[in-house]
Chains A and B, each alone.
Chain A
Amino acid sequence: MSDAHITQDTEGEHDNAYAGLLGNDAHWAFGTDFEDPLAGVDTTIPDGVDASELAQYCLMLGDDALVYAQRLSEWTSRAPDLEEDIAIANIALDLVGQARLLLARAAAADPALVPSLPEGSPVPDEDRLAYFRDAGAFRNVRLAEQPNGDFAELIARLLVMSTWRLAIFQRLVDHQDAVVAAIAAKGVKELAYHRDFAGRWFVTLARGTGESHRRLTDAMRTVWPLIPELTASTETESRVGVDPATLADEIGVVLDQVLAVAGITAPETPGLAGVRGRTGRHGMHSEALSRLLAEMQVVARAHPMGRW
Protein backbone atom coordinates (compact mmCIF):
# COMPACT_ATOMS: atom_id res chain seq x y z
CA MET A 1 0.00 0.00 0.00
CA SER A 2 1.38 3.38 0.93
CA ASP A 3 4.30 1.87 2.75
CA ALA A 4 6.90 2.79 0.18
CA HIS A 5 6.41 6.50 0.43
CA ILE A 6 6.22 6.34 4.20
CA THR A 7 9.53 4.61 4.45
CA GLN A 8 11.04 7.15 2.16
CA ASP A 9 9.46 10.08 3.90
CA THR A 10 10.26 8.99 7.42
CA GLU A 11 13.73 7.72 6.94
CA GLY A 12 14.99 9.64 3.98
CA GLU A 13 16.70 12.40 5.86
CA HIS A 14 17.03 10.91 9.32
CA ASP A 15 19.34 8.46 10.85
CA ASN A 16 16.75 6.32 12.47
CA ALA A 17 17.75 5.39 16.00
CA TYR A 18 14.95 2.85 16.14
CA ALA A 19 15.95 0.94 13.06
CA GLY A 20 17.51 -1.96 14.91
CA LEU A 21 14.76 -2.15 17.50
CA LEU A 22 11.70 -2.56 15.38
CA GLY A 23 12.90 -5.83 13.94
CA ASN A 24 10.96 -7.27 11.07
CA ASP A 25 7.48 -6.29 9.97
CA ALA A 26 5.84 -8.81 12.25
CA HIS A 27 7.59 -7.42 15.29
CA TRP A 28 4.92 -4.90 16.17
CA ALA A 29 2.43 -7.69 16.70
CA PHE A 30 4.60 -10.19 18.44
CA GLY A 31 2.61 -13.04 19.83
CA THR A 32 1.19 -13.48 16.33
CA ASP A 33 3.56 -14.64 13.65
CA PHE A 34 6.67 -13.26 15.19
CA GLU A 35 9.27 -16.00 15.45
CA ASP A 36 7.86 -19.49 15.26
CA PRO A 37 9.01 -21.33 18.37
CA LEU A 38 8.08 -24.64 16.76
CA ALA A 39 10.20 -24.21 13.65
CA GLY A 40 12.10 -27.42 13.09
CA VAL A 41 10.57 -29.19 16.10
CA ASP A 42 9.59 -32.85 15.70
CA THR A 43 5.80 -33.01 16.03
CA THR A 44 5.35 -36.79 16.24
CA ILE A 45 3.96 -38.04 19.53
CA PRO A 46 6.81 -39.78 21.35
CA ASP A 47 6.55 -43.47 22.19
CA GLY A 48 5.01 -44.23 25.53
CA VAL A 49 2.97 -41.03 25.62
CA ASP A 50 -0.80 -41.41 25.44
CA ALA A 51 -1.86 -38.97 22.71
CA SER A 52 -5.28 -38.23 24.12
CA GLU A 53 -3.87 -37.67 27.58
CA LEU A 54 -1.21 -35.36 26.15
CA ALA A 55 -3.98 -33.47 24.38
CA GLN A 56 -5.92 -33.12 27.63
CA TYR A 57 -2.85 -31.80 29.34
CA CYS A 58 -2.16 -29.25 26.63
CA LEU A 59 -5.77 -28.19 26.89
CA MET A 60 -5.36 -27.55 30.62
CA LEU A 61 -2.28 -25.39 30.21
CA GLY A 62 -3.69 -23.73 27.09
CA ASP A 63 -6.98 -22.89 28.78
CA ASP A 64 -5.17 -21.39 31.78
CA ALA A 65 -3.32 -19.07 29.42
CA LEU A 66 -6.31 -18.27 27.24
CA VAL A 67 -8.77 -17.49 30.00
CA TYR A 68 -6.25 -15.53 32.05
CA ALA A 69 -5.15 -13.55 28.99
CA GLN A 70 -8.79 -12.69 28.38
CA ARG A 71 -9.02 -11.25 31.88
CA LEU A 72 -5.76 -9.34 31.52
CA SER A 73 -6.82 -7.90 28.19
CA GLU A 74 -9.85 -6.37 29.91
CA TRP A 75 -7.38 -4.01 31.58
CA THR A 76 -6.51 -2.35 28.27
CA SER A 77 -7.02 1.42 28.47
CA ARG A 78 -7.86 1.10 32.18
CA ALA A 79 -4.44 0.79 33.84
CA PRO A 80 -3.13 3.29 36.41
CA ASP A 81 -0.68 4.76 33.89
CA LEU A 82 0.36 4.26 30.28
CA GLU A 83 3.49 2.32 31.20
CA GLU A 84 1.41 -0.20 33.13
CA ASP A 85 -1.16 -0.42 30.34
CA ILE A 86 1.62 -1.42 27.97
CA ALA A 87 3.14 -3.88 30.43
CA ILE A 88 -0.16 -5.65 31.11
CA ALA A 89 -0.86 -5.91 27.39
CA ASN A 90 2.56 -7.48 26.91
CA ILE A 91 1.79 -10.11 29.50
CA ALA A 92 -1.61 -10.81 27.93
CA LEU A 93 0.07 -11.11 24.52
CA ASP A 94 2.59 -13.61 25.83
CA LEU A 95 -0.23 -15.72 27.23
CA VAL A 96 -2.33 -15.57 24.07
CA GLY A 97 0.78 -16.80 22.26
CA GLN A 98 1.19 -19.68 24.69
CA ALA A 99 -2.51 -20.53 24.42
CA ARG A 100 -2.38 -20.71 20.65
CA LEU A 101 0.55 -23.10 20.64
CA LEU A 102 -0.90 -25.31 23.34
CA LEU A 103 -4.38 -25.48 21.83
CA ALA A 104 -2.90 -26.27 18.44
CA ARG A 105 -0.83 -29.02 20.05
CA ALA A 106 -3.93 -30.40 21.80
CA ALA A 107 -5.81 -30.50 18.51
CA ALA A 108 -2.94 -32.18 16.69
CA ALA A 109 -2.49 -34.80 19.39
CA ASP A 110 -6.19 -35.68 19.60
CA PRO A 111 -8.39 -34.43 16.76
CA ALA A 112 -11.42 -35.88 18.55
CA LEU A 113 -11.19 -33.02 21.05
CA VAL A 114 -11.88 -30.40 18.41
CA PRO A 115 -15.51 -29.30 18.14
CA SER A 116 -16.95 -30.01 14.71
CA LEU A 117 -18.36 -27.20 12.60
CA PRO A 118 -20.41 -27.25 9.39
CA GLU A 119 -18.72 -28.88 6.40
CA GLY A 120 -16.22 -26.53 4.78
CA SER A 121 -15.78 -24.21 7.74
CA PRO A 122 -12.42 -22.44 7.48
CA VAL A 123 -12.11 -21.97 11.26
CA PRO A 124 -8.70 -23.34 12.36
CA ASP A 125 -8.41 -25.88 15.15
CA GLU A 126 -7.03 -23.48 17.76
CA ASP A 127 -10.07 -21.25 17.25
CA ARG A 128 -12.52 -24.13 17.28
CA LEU A 129 -11.16 -25.06 20.67
CA ALA A 130 -11.14 -21.49 21.96
CA TYR A 131 -14.48 -20.36 20.58
CA PHE A 132 -16.71 -23.38 20.16
CA ARG A 133 -16.48 -25.13 23.52
CA ASP A 134 -18.83 -24.43 26.41
CA ALA A 135 -17.64 -23.64 29.92
CA GLY A 136 -17.88 -27.25 31.09
CA ALA A 137 -15.32 -28.31 28.49
CA PHE A 138 -12.74 -25.78 29.66
CA ARG A 139 -9.99 -27.19 31.85
CA ASN A 140 -8.42 -24.05 33.33
CA VAL A 141 -8.01 -23.55 37.06
CA ARG A 142 -10.56 -21.26 38.66
CA LEU A 143 -7.92 -18.69 39.56
CA ALA A 144 -7.56 -17.83 35.88
CA GLU A 145 -11.20 -16.94 35.37
CA GLN A 146 -11.85 -14.68 38.37
CA PRO A 147 -13.14 -11.19 37.57
CA ASN A 148 -10.40 -8.57 37.66
CA GLY A 149 -11.03 -6.44 40.73
CA ASP A 150 -8.63 -3.57 41.35
CA PHE A 151 -4.92 -3.19 40.57
CA ALA A 152 -3.92 -4.83 43.86
CA GLU A 153 -5.94 -7.89 42.94
CA LEU A 154 -4.35 -7.91 39.49
CA ILE A 155 -0.90 -7.94 41.07
CA ALA A 156 -1.73 -10.54 43.73
CA ARG A 157 -3.26 -12.87 41.15
CA LEU A 158 -0.47 -12.32 38.65
CA LEU A 159 2.14 -13.07 41.30
CA VAL A 160 0.50 -16.37 42.14
CA MET A 161 -0.31 -17.34 38.56
CA SER A 162 3.13 -16.57 37.19
CA THR A 163 4.97 -18.20 40.09
CA TRP A 164 2.95 -21.37 39.63
CA ARG A 165 3.09 -21.45 35.86
CA LEU A 166 6.80 -20.71 35.79
CA ALA A 167 7.43 -23.64 38.13
CA ILE A 168 5.48 -25.91 35.76
CA PHE A 169 7.17 -24.64 32.60
CA GLN A 170 10.64 -24.95 34.11
CA ARG A 171 9.97 -28.67 34.52
CA LEU A 172 8.36 -29.05 31.09
CA VAL A 173 11.49 -27.82 29.35
CA ASP A 174 12.66 -31.46 29.48
CA HIS A 175 9.31 -32.98 28.50
CA GLN A 176 9.36 -36.03 26.24
CA ASP A 177 7.12 -34.30 23.74
CA ALA A 178 9.41 -32.00 21.79
CA VAL A 179 6.57 -29.60 21.07
CA VAL A 180 5.63 -29.16 24.71
CA ALA A 181 9.31 -28.78 25.57
CA ALA A 182 9.74 -26.04 22.95
CA ILE A 183 6.62 -24.20 24.12
CA ALA A 184 7.92 -24.38 27.68
CA ALA A 185 11.37 -23.12 26.72
CA LYS A 186 9.84 -20.04 25.12
CA GLY A 187 7.36 -19.57 27.96
CA VAL A 188 9.91 -19.73 30.76
CA LYS A 189 11.48 -16.42 29.71
CA GLU A 190 8.11 -14.77 29.45
CA LEU A 191 6.83 -16.08 32.75
CA ALA A 192 10.00 -15.09 34.58
CA TYR A 193 9.33 -11.56 33.43
CA HIS A 194 5.68 -11.72 34.52
CA ARG A 195 6.73 -12.90 37.96
CA ASP A 196 9.34 -10.18 38.22
CA PHE A 197 6.82 -7.52 37.25
CA ALA A 198 4.24 -8.83 39.72
CA GLY A 199 6.78 -9.27 42.50
CA ARG A 200 8.04 -5.71 42.21
CA TRP A 201 4.56 -4.29 42.23
CA PHE A 202 3.54 -6.53 45.11
CA VAL A 203 6.35 -5.16 47.26
CA THR A 204 5.64 -1.63 46.04
CA LEU A 205 1.99 -1.78 47.04
CA ALA A 206 2.81 -3.37 50.38
CA ARG A 207 5.33 -0.63 51.17
CA GLY A 208 3.39 2.22 49.59
CA THR A 209 0.55 3.94 51.38
CA GLY A 210 -1.93 2.81 53.98
CA GLU A 211 -4.50 2.48 51.27
CA SER A 212 -2.34 0.37 48.98
CA HIS A 213 -1.45 -1.89 51.90
CA ARG A 214 -5.11 -2.31 52.80
CA ARG A 215 -6.09 -3.04 49.21
CA LEU A 216 -3.33 -5.60 48.85
CA THR A 217 -4.41 -7.34 52.02
CA ASP A 218 -7.98 -7.48 50.72
CA ALA A 219 -6.76 -8.79 47.39
CA MET A 220 -4.85 -11.59 49.07
CA ARG A 221 -7.99 -12.67 50.87
CA THR A 222 -9.62 -13.09 47.45
CA VAL A 223 -6.69 -14.76 45.72
CA TRP A 224 -5.13 -17.00 48.38
CA PRO A 225 -8.09 -19.41 48.78
CA LEU A 226 -7.58 -20.39 45.15
CA ILE A 227 -3.96 -21.46 45.66
CA PRO A 228 -4.61 -25.01 46.95
CA GLU A 229 -6.39 -25.89 43.70
CA LEU A 230 -3.16 -25.10 41.85
CA THR A 231 -1.26 -27.82 43.65
CA ALA A 232 -3.94 -30.50 43.72
CA SER A 233 -3.00 -33.58 41.70
CA THR A 234 -5.07 -34.88 38.85
CA GLU A 235 -4.37 -38.15 37.10
CA THR A 236 -3.73 -36.58 33.72
CA GLU A 237 -1.25 -34.06 35.02
CA SER A 238 0.62 -36.61 37.12
CA ARG A 239 0.90 -39.10 34.28
CA VAL A 240 1.73 -36.94 31.30
CA GLY A 241 2.97 -33.65 32.71
CA VAL A 242 4.01 -32.17 36.02
CA ASP A 243 2.26 -33.41 39.13
CA PRO A 244 1.03 -30.15 40.69
CA ALA A 245 1.48 -31.52 44.21
CA THR A 246 5.24 -31.56 43.67
CA LEU A 247 5.19 -27.80 43.11
CA ALA A 248 3.66 -26.82 46.43
CA ASP A 249 6.95 -26.39 48.30
CA GLU A 250 8.63 -24.36 45.60
CA ILE A 251 5.67 -22.05 45.16
CA GLY A 252 5.44 -21.63 48.91
CA VAL A 253 9.11 -20.66 49.13
CA VAL A 254 8.85 -18.07 46.37
CA LEU A 255 5.69 -16.51 47.77
CA ASP A 256 7.16 -16.48 51.28
CA GLN A 257 10.20 -14.62 49.99
CA VAL A 258 8.11 -11.97 48.29
CA LEU A 259 5.87 -11.61 51.32
CA ALA A 260 8.88 -11.29 53.61
CA VAL A 261 10.38 -8.46 51.54
CA ALA A 262 6.95 -6.86 51.36
CA GLY A 263 6.50 -7.20 55.11
CA ILE A 264 3.05 -8.68 54.77
CA THR A 265 1.61 -11.93 56.05
CA ALA A 266 -0.44 -14.44 54.12
CA PRO A 267 -4.09 -14.65 55.13
CA GLU A 268 -5.18 -17.70 57.12
CA THR A 269 -7.75 -18.92 54.66
CA PRO A 270 -8.82 -22.43 53.80
CA GLY A 271 -8.83 -23.41 50.16
CA LEU A 272 -11.96 -22.92 48.10
CA ALA A 273 -13.97 -26.13 47.90
CA GLY A 274 -15.01 -27.71 44.64
CA VAL A 275 -18.27 -29.49 43.88
CA ARG A 276 -17.96 -33.10 45.05
CA GLY A 277 -14.22 -32.54 44.82
CA ARG A 278 -14.34 -31.35 41.24
CA THR A 279 -12.72 -28.04 40.33
CA GLY A 280 -11.52 -26.21 37.23
CA ARG A 281 -9.36 -29.04 35.92
CA HIS A 282 -12.50 -31.24 35.85
CA GLY A 283 -14.59 -28.60 34.11
CA MET A 284 -16.28 -27.43 37.31
CA HIS A 285 -15.90 -23.66 37.24
CA SER A 286 -17.11 -20.57 39.02
CA GLU A 287 -20.04 -18.58 37.69
CA ALA A 288 -17.65 -16.09 36.11
CA LEU A 289 -16.43 -18.38 33.35
CA SER A 290 -19.56 -18.78 31.25
CA ARG A 291 -20.03 -15.03 31.26
CA LEU A 292 -16.42 -14.52 30.20
CA LEU A 293 -16.87 -17.03 27.39
CA ALA A 294 -20.16 -15.52 26.26
CA GLU A 295 -18.33 -12.30 25.57
CA MET A 296 -15.22 -13.87 24.11
CA GLN A 297 -17.08 -16.21 21.77
CA VAL A 298 -19.97 -14.05 20.61
CA VAL A 299 -18.59 -12.97 17.22
CA ALA A 300 -16.89 -16.23 16.33
CA ARG A 301 -20.02 -18.27 17.11
CA ALA A 302 -22.21 -16.01 15.01
CA HIS A 303 -20.02 -16.86 12.00
CA PRO A 304 -19.09 -20.55 12.06
CA MET A 305 -18.27 -20.29 8.35
CA GLY A 306 -16.49 -16.94 8.73
CA ARG A 307 -12.96 -16.03 7.77
CA TRP A 308 -11.01 -13.63 9.94
Chain B
Amino acid sequence: MTTTQPDPEWPLYEVFIRSKRGLNHVHVGSLHAPDAEMALLHARDVYTRRNEGVSIWVAKSADITASSPLEKDPLFAPSGDKVYRHPTFYDIPSNVPHM
Protein backbone atom coordinates (compact mmCIF):
# COMPACT_ATOMS: atom_id res chain seq x y z
CA MET B 1 0.00 0.00 0.00
CA THR B 2 1.45 3.33 -1.01
CA THR B 3 0.91 6.30 1.21
CA THR B 4 1.34 9.09 -1.29
CA GLN B 5 -0.51 12.28 -0.48
CA PRO B 6 -3.76 12.23 -2.46
CA ASP B 7 -4.07 14.93 -5.10
CA PRO B 8 -6.52 17.49 -3.72
CA GLU B 9 -8.00 17.97 -7.17
CA TRP B 10 -10.42 15.18 -7.99
CA PRO B 11 -9.61 13.14 -11.07
CA LEU B 12 -11.41 13.76 -14.32
CA TYR B 13 -14.03 11.32 -15.58
CA GLU B 14 -15.42 11.10 -19.09
CA VAL B 15 -19.19 10.72 -19.24
CA PHE B 16 -21.05 8.61 -21.80
CA ILE B 17 -24.80 8.62 -21.99
CA ARG B 18 -27.41 6.55 -23.74
CA SER B 19 -30.36 8.89 -23.92
CA LYS B 20 -32.78 6.17 -24.90
CA ARG B 21 -32.89 2.46 -25.55
CA GLY B 22 -31.62 1.37 -28.92
CA LEU B 23 -28.94 4.04 -29.10
CA ASN B 24 -25.24 3.86 -28.36
CA HIS B 25 -23.69 5.54 -25.41
CA VAL B 26 -22.34 8.86 -26.61
CA HIS B 27 -19.60 10.94 -25.06
CA VAL B 28 -21.21 14.07 -23.62
CA GLY B 29 -18.41 15.63 -21.62
CA SER B 30 -16.38 15.26 -18.48
CA LEU B 31 -16.47 16.13 -14.83
CA HIS B 32 -14.46 15.81 -11.63
CA ALA B 33 -15.26 13.36 -8.87
CA PRO B 34 -13.35 11.70 -6.05
CA ASP B 35 -14.32 8.22 -7.24
CA ALA B 36 -16.39 6.40 -9.83
CA GLU B 37 -19.52 6.11 -7.71
CA MET B 38 -19.56 9.83 -7.04
CA ALA B 39 -18.81 10.45 -10.71
CA LEU B 40 -22.03 8.63 -11.59
CA LEU B 41 -24.01 10.76 -9.15
CA HIS B 42 -22.44 13.90 -10.55
CA ALA B 43 -23.07 12.78 -14.12
CA ARG B 44 -26.75 12.38 -13.41
CA ASP B 45 -26.90 15.84 -11.88
CA VAL B 46 -24.75 17.62 -14.43
CA TYR B 47 -25.51 15.95 -17.74
CA THR B 48 -28.95 14.38 -17.53
CA ARG B 49 -30.78 16.50 -15.02
CA ARG B 50 -31.56 13.18 -13.45
CA ASN B 51 -33.59 11.93 -16.33
CA GLU B 52 -35.02 8.57 -15.35
CA GLY B 53 -34.18 5.70 -17.64
CA VAL B 54 -30.98 7.18 -18.98
CA SER B 55 -27.95 4.91 -18.92
CA ILE B 56 -24.65 6.44 -17.91
CA TRP B 57 -21.07 5.23 -18.17
CA VAL B 58 -18.19 7.00 -16.52
CA ALA B 59 -14.54 6.23 -17.10
CA LYS B 60 -11.50 7.85 -15.64
CA SER B 61 -10.03 10.00 -18.39
CA ALA B 62 -6.60 8.69 -17.53
CA ASP B 63 -7.75 5.13 -18.24
CA ILE B 64 -8.78 5.81 -21.83
CA THR B 65 -6.26 4.99 -24.50
CA ALA B 66 -6.54 6.90 -27.74
CA SER B 67 -5.07 6.53 -31.17
CA SER B 68 -3.01 9.33 -32.60
CA PRO B 69 -4.67 11.36 -35.33
CA LEU B 70 -1.47 11.71 -37.29
CA GLU B 71 0.60 8.74 -38.27
CA LYS B 72 3.75 10.17 -36.79
CA ASP B 73 3.00 12.16 -33.71
CA PRO B 74 6.12 13.80 -32.43
CA LEU B 75 4.68 14.89 -29.08
CA PHE B 76 3.16 11.69 -27.93
CA ALA B 77 5.33 8.92 -29.21
CA PRO B 78 4.94 6.05 -28.68
CA SER B 79 1.37 6.00 -29.83
CA GLY B 80 -1.35 4.58 -27.62
CA ASP B 81 -1.85 7.79 -25.76
CA LYS B 82 -4.59 9.47 -23.85
CA VAL B 83 -7.73 11.05 -25.20
CA TYR B 84 -6.89 14.50 -24.07
CA ARG B 85 -4.01 16.73 -23.34
CA HIS B 86 -4.90 16.74 -19.69
CA PRO B 87 -2.24 18.26 -17.52
CA THR B 88 -1.29 14.94 -16.01
CA PHE B 89 -0.66 13.53 -19.47
CA TYR B 90 1.25 16.54 -20.55
CA ASP B 91 4.80 15.35 -20.26
CA ILE B 92 6.53 17.24 -22.98
CA PRO B 93 9.81 15.74 -24.06
CA SER B 94 12.53 18.25 -23.34
CA ASN B 95 13.82 18.14 -26.91
CA VAL B 96 10.58 19.39 -28.43
CA PRO B 97 11.11 22.94 -29.63
CA HIS B 98 8.90 25.94 -28.93
CA MET B 99 7.10 24.62 -25.92
Contact = CB atoms under 8 A, between A and B. Distances in A.
B52 to A, nearest CB: 7
Interface string A90-125: 100000000000000000000000000000000000
A189 B52 contact: yes
A81 B28 contact: no
Interface string A211-241: 0000000000000000000000000000000
A157 to B, nearest CB: 19
Main secondary structure of the interface of A (DSSP, over half): helix
A21 B28 CA distance: 10
Contact of B20 (A20, A81, A83): A20
Contacts of A204: 34, 38
Contacts of B27: 17
Nearest to A30: B49
Which one of A17, A193, A204 has the highest number of Cβ atoms from chain B below 10 Å of its Cβ? A17
Nearest to A87: B45
Contacts of B32: 81, 83
B61 interface: no
Nearest to B26: A17
A200 B38 contact: yes
Contacts of B34: 204
Interface residue tally on B, bucketed by range: 20 to 34
B28 A18 contact: yes
Contacts of A23: 49, 51
B12 to A, nearest CB: 11
B38 A27 contact: no
Contact of B48 (A17, A21, A197): A21
Nearest to A20: B19
B33 interface: yes
Given A18-B28, A21-B28, A200-B41, A83 B46 contact: yes
B52 A196 contact: no
A21 B19 contact: yes
Contacts of A30: 49
B50 A86 contact: no
Contacts of A20: 19-20, 23
A86 B45 contact: yes
Given A17-B26, A87-B42, A200 B37 contact: yes
B64 interface: no
Interface of A: 17-21, 23, 27-28, 30, 81, 83, 86-87, 90, 189, 193, 196-197, 200, 204
Interface of B: 10, 17, 19-20, 23, 26-28, 31-34, 37-38, 41-42, 45-52, 54
